[in-house]
Amino acid sequence: MTAAFGARLAAAMDEHGPLCVGIDPHPGLLASWGLPDDVGGLREFALRVVDVLGGRVAALKPQSALFERHGAAGMAVLEDVVSAARAAGTLTIVDAKRGDIGSTMAGYADAFLSDGSPLAGDAVTVSPYLGFGSLSPAADLAARTGRGIFVLCLTSNKEGHEVQHAVGSDGASVAASVAAQAAVLNAGADPMGSVGLVVGATVGDAVRETGTDLEAVNGPLLAPGLGAQGAGAAELAKVFGAARPRVLASTSRAVLGAGPDGLPDAARTAADEARGALRA
């Protein structure tokens, strides 16, 4: 890697708009494309998305679980997706949400962040709920290889508040603590650091309620929920406020649902919407 992930992502967002398109090969979506729910359908779907959208969007985000469900052959397709995106010059965020301790976390880091690993894109999503410090193997390796991590912070699932809104003995919410520790790792980075957060675009007042300082993070904010899940300009403004310039809006169904022939126009529309909502 010739530059840190945060700098490369900032440049891609400026060039293509602050949009990430998820590659989420759900069985229903494969069916809507006329493809079977097997490895052949998975390969046709995923590589078609990369072929059409590579070089057109800031980032692509393959959902690892939907490749893993097809076993070793599915993981081989994920490797090919990462390789194809790299060849197209498009950043890849592997949505794996890994989180563990010690040598196990180091193993996940090697798989998704080490030079030479076929699963290593430009960044990976990780879970901090065994303690933020448990992510050190991933954060350290990402820093050494010029890659990034996106740490779950405020997610849009209804169960998320049980952990993320909980308050510790220091009076800070879990979400606020996660954001503060990410900010420490990003301190001094320009134009932004490589330790990002995942904050749902549909979490409403959760940022304010948990006292989470997103502006201070100085890193990218991956925001699932644009489009089909209901988030638009008003929702993005409510959730992110002054931190909007660092938001990478993520969508899947709103683009992929357009089908293989409609992908370019759908992606262009989503990117324009994200740019208008976040960069105006």
How far apart CA 194 and CA 177 sit, in angstroms, is: 18
How high is the pLDDT of residue 230? 67
pLDDT given for residue 227 in this prediction: 65
Domain ranges of the chain: 5-272
Please report the pLDDT score of residue 236 as a whole number.
Answer: 85
Convert the chain into a string of H (helix), E (strand) and C (coil): CCCCHHHHHHHHHHHHCCEEEEECCCHHHHHHCCCCCCHHHHHHHHHHHHHHHCCCCCEEEEEHHHHHCCHHHHHHHHHHHHHHHHHCCCEEEEEEEECCCHHHHHHHHHHHHCCCCCCCCCEEEECCCCCHHHHHHHHHHHHHHCCEEEEEEECCCCCCHHHHCCECCCCCEHHHHHHHHHHHHHCCCCCCCCEEEEECCCCCCHHHHHCCCCHHHCCCEEEECECCCCECHHHHHHHHHHHHHHEEEEECHHHHCCHHHHHHHHHHHHHHHHHHHHHC
* pLDDT reported for residue 279: 82
**Cβ neighbours of residue 206 closer than 8 Å, sequence gap 6 or more:** 154, 161, 164, 165, 175, 212, 239
Measured in degrees and rounded to the nearest 5, phi and psi for residue 126 equal -135, 160
How confident is the model at residue 1, as a pLDDT? 58
pLDDT in tens, 57-73: 999 999 999 999 999 99
Active site residues: 97
CATH 3.40.228.10 fits 5-272, yes or no: no
**What is the pairing mode between strands 247-251 and 59-62?**
unpaired
Q: Point out the residues of the chain with pLDDT beneath 50.
A: none
Whole-number pLDDT of residue 238:
87
Report d(CA 123, CA 194) in Å as an integer.
9
